[in-house]
Amino acid sequence: MSKKNIAVIMGGFSSEVAISMLSGNTVCKYLDTSKYTVYPISIIKEGWFCSHSDHKPFPVDKSDFSITIDGTKIKFDCVFNTIHGTPGEDGTFQAYLQLLGIPQTACDYYEAALTFNKRDCISVLSAYGIKTATNYFLNKGDIINTSEIVAKVGLPCFVKANKAGSSFGVSKVYEEDALEAAIAISFKEDDEIIIESFLEGTEVSVGVINYHGKIQALPVTEIVSDNDFFDYEAKYAGKSQEITPARISEEQTSAVQREAEKVFKVLKLKGLTRAEFIFHNGEPHFLEVNTTPGLSPASIIPQQAKVAGISLADLFDNVIEQALNQ
């Protein structure tokens, strides 16, 4: 059997480019080279290029997403998508690859665009009975009425960029006087923002995958941030504890896993996903879902896979096989 050519795309155009590069390089390290010829592809603002270890960087032909090495044109059987943020998590790259007929490991373009837009995603899931925080939405240029915001969501509250991942443009606000400054920070990342009520409780993260044809939740991770909330430093600079399995009851574990699987099914997701919840008043409340989550060894999905007894090589191979057989 001839080996499949796999492009591992990483980078992106958002503030999460460095984290995406870590994820992409981890995937390249663990893919089975007896089955796949692996090509690391950087998709960044400066250009698209392949950094194959045996060669100098080669530009990507955007007309058909191919590269040419030593006069030989190389096309890809599948793309492993590890871009966090735009264009790999918001549906842009998925739509491009669909036009070219190239399978990729994340969800399809519409589902990616929907889940990347926090307020649209919450609106859809709320219709299916999934509990969320109370929300207030703002577009750039809207009149900012801080008293109206506080009356709806209360204090403290979270101010977030609506379409900018989960690590940038986020502030926790305790006083009404601080709202406008927090809103300005979020508007630096996106022209839409979402303001959420604060939910007191245990925060957990649940990976969900289609593993050998069965949709299943991974072991639950409890998030304990050293900072005021699970921000960029907490996620990526060691300022948090990520405890897997979470220190919650079996009933709570089952409940949040069922909710995470429901999110996966309702939104018609694919590949590797991770949903965030807070147990508020004893019940899981949905925060957001990541459709191209971090995949470095320190990231949550690899931690959960390890507890579940799934190696990274098996985890990554499984999503490629799923993509190839769809």
The mean per-residue pLDDT over the stretch 284-289 comes to: 96
Range name among 60-64, 186-190, 238-242, 284-288 with the lowest pLDDT average: 238-242
Claim: this prediction has a pTM higher than 0.95: no
- Checking DSSP bridges between strand 47-50 and strand 192-197, what pairing results, if any? unpaired
Q: What is the pLDDT of residues 6-44, one digit of tens each?
A: 999 999 998 889 999 999 999 999 999 999 999 999 999
- The Cα 113–Cα 86 span in angstroms is 10
| 234: confidence class by pLDDT, cuts 50, 70, 90 | very low
- The Cα 297–Cα 318 span in angstroms is 17
The mean per-residue pLDDT over the stretch 38-61 comes to: 89
Integer-rounded Cα radius of gyration of the chain = 20
Residue 297 phi/psi, 5° resolution?
Answer: -55, -25
- Checking DSSP bridges between strand 4-11 and strand 36-44, what pairing results, if any? parallel
The mean per-residue pLDDT over the stretch 51-80 comes to: 91
Nearest Cα neighbor of 118 from 98, 104, 97, 132 is 132
The mean per-residue pLDDT over the stretch 243-252 comes to: 96
DSSP 3-state assignment of 20? helix
Burial 116-128 (b: 16+ CB within 10 A, else e): bbbbebbebbeee
Element (H, E) at 232: helix 232-236
Token pair 């299943």 in the structure block, residue = 216
Statement: residue 265 has pLDDT above 50: yes
Beta bridge partners, 61, equal 66
Predicted confidence at residue 163, as pLDDT, reads 86
Burial 151-190 (b: 16+ CB within 10 A, else e): eebeeebbbbbbbbbbbbbbbbbeeeebbeebbebbbebb
Return the percentage of the chain with pLDDT > 90, whole number: 87
- The Cα 276–Cα 260 span in angstroms is 8
| 54: confidence class by pLDDT, cuts 50, 70, 90 | low
- The Cα 21–Cα 41 span in angstroms is 10
